[in-house]
Amino acid sequence: MVPVTNFKPPFNVTRAGHIVLRVNDLSLSKAFYTEVIGLLVSDGDPDTVYLRGVEESCHHSLVLKATSGEPTCERIGFRVFLDEDLDKAAEYFAGIGRDCRFVDIPHQGRTLHVSDGVGMPVELVASMPRLRRVHDQYHIHRGAGALRMDHFQVAVPDAAAAAAFYTGLGFRISDYFVDKEGDTDPLGIFLYKKNNPHDIVFLTRPGPVLHHFGYIVPGASNLFQALDVSNALGFNNVLERGPGRHGEGHSLYVYLRDPDGHRVEILPPPYQTGDIDDEPIGWHRGNRHSWDPPRREAGFTRSQNSKALRFSPATKVTDFYRWKTSWLNVRCLPGARCGRSRLMNNRLHGKRGVRKNYFIIASTREGKACYQHCVCQRMNK
């Protein structure tokens, strides 16, 4: 059954706030999230990078931590309204026998680590250092120009049970879906505290595991911008699904995989929620307005009409052309000098020596390493 919201919760959560990811290659992940997603670097050290969206004034909404082990999600974070809500939360979690302790975290106010209803590591904070919003500084926006953190989606064995823990904390349900009309057990539940359809979403799947986290971008064109930029910079195969439209929330979306395989969704702003008489909307396979690019069938690469689509001998691929295509994705962009690009630069331009004030980004394996090296140089200038 769909759980019911407790409108007098023990403490006041306001929104999904931030997420902490462990990554294997910090500089490469930093490049992905700044150049493709469009986040800003708020701070960092050799092992950690703190990022935020262009209209966020909180210090960070994404923390990347370097690890030589498995890249994982370390923790998701929610904001509470007042500092005293942290004390109320500590009392609540202690009362129900859950793990709960105050910790010191850089660039955050008092932080409470807790374990939620499915054992997921969560941290609650009321405050962070404030930084300037740069939504109006268009000349520094990059990639998709992500505006702000929006939501987490988590796979759990029982979505309704996981959601019930959060409705007990005052989360409301915007949408849920079942398989077919008449079913009563929800397979997905969308919960919110801020005024859009999702702060956290639970799907009935093996878990608990993070499925993805989402950032709001200004509009639909930013989805394509992210894909174009990721391709231009040599982040191959980052597009996992989309662009498409969700039934729940009615938002357009693209799912990307970061260099460690963490899934991030970017989406334009979905619809508004929050009136007291907003009721959960139930969806099933028969009433959902959603669309997705169809998966490419194996036969797609075969011609529909072999005679009509046959290439003339003049366009036959030669060995020389094959050699050339291995460099077709090589691009020069304004940036810094990079010694590692010398070989490709010579082949591309047919010259000796490195072209100063340019570096090369390529989608080849060699070029991708070069890209990582060069982006670090450029950021350090």
What SS3 class is residue 228?
helix
Residue closer to Fe ion (CB basis): 209 or 328 = 209
Count of residues that interact with Fe ion, criterion CB under 5 A:
3
CB 248, min distance to Fe ion, A: 9
Peptide bond before 243: cis, by omega within 30 degrees of 0?
A: yes
Residue closer to Fe ion (CB basis): 93 or 202 = 202
- Dihedral Cα 214, 218, 220, 226, nearest 10 deg: -70
CB 151, min distance to Fe ion, A: 6
CB 212, min distance to Fe ion, A: 6
In the sheet that 40-45 helps form, which strands lie side by side, from edge to edge? Answer: 40-45, 48-52, 62-66, 13-23, 73-80, 121-125, 111-115, 100-103
Two structure tokens written together for 289: 């307005």
Residue closer to Fe ion (CB basis): 190 or 359 = 190
Separation CA 316–CA 3 (nearest Å):
62
Residue closer to Fe ion (CB basis): 163 or 374 = 163
CB 150, min distance to Fe ion, A: 8
Residue closer to Fe ion (CB basis): 203 or 370 = 203
Separation CA 28–CA 260 (nearest Å):
9
What SS3 class is residue 53?
coil
Q: Which of these segments, 64-72, 101-109, 257-265, 343-351, binds Fe ion (CB under 5 A)?
A: 257-265
End-to-end CA distance of the chain, in Å? 56
Residues 348, 352, 353, 355: is their CA dihedral positive or negative? negative
Residue span 150-189 as binding mask against Fe ion, x where in contact by CB under 5 A, dash where not:
---x------------------------------------
CB 153, min distance to Fe ion, A: 5
CB 267, min distance to Fe ion, A: 7
CB 180, min distance to Fe ion, A: 23
Residue closer to Fe ion (CB basis): 145 or 214 = 214
Residue closer to Fe ion (CB basis): 143 or 214 = 214
CB 72, min distance to Fe ion, A: 19
Separation CA 13–CA 144 (nearest Å):
28
Binding status of residue 265 toward Fe ion by CB under 5 A: yes
For residue 211, the surrounding DSSP H or E stretch is strand 209-216
Residues 206-225 contacting Fe ion, CB under 5 A: 214
Binding status of residue 116 toward Fe ion by CB under 5 A: no
- The full DSSP string for 255-296 is EEE-TT--EEEEE--------TT--PEEE-TTT---B-PPPP
Classify burial at 264, counting beta carbons within 10 Å of its beta carbon; exposed 0-12, middle 13-18, buried 19 or more: buried
Residues 118-157 contacting Fe ion, CB under 5 A: 153
Contacts of 301 (CB under 8 A, 6+ apart): none
Q: Which residues bind Fe ion (CB under 5 A)?
A: 153, 214, 265
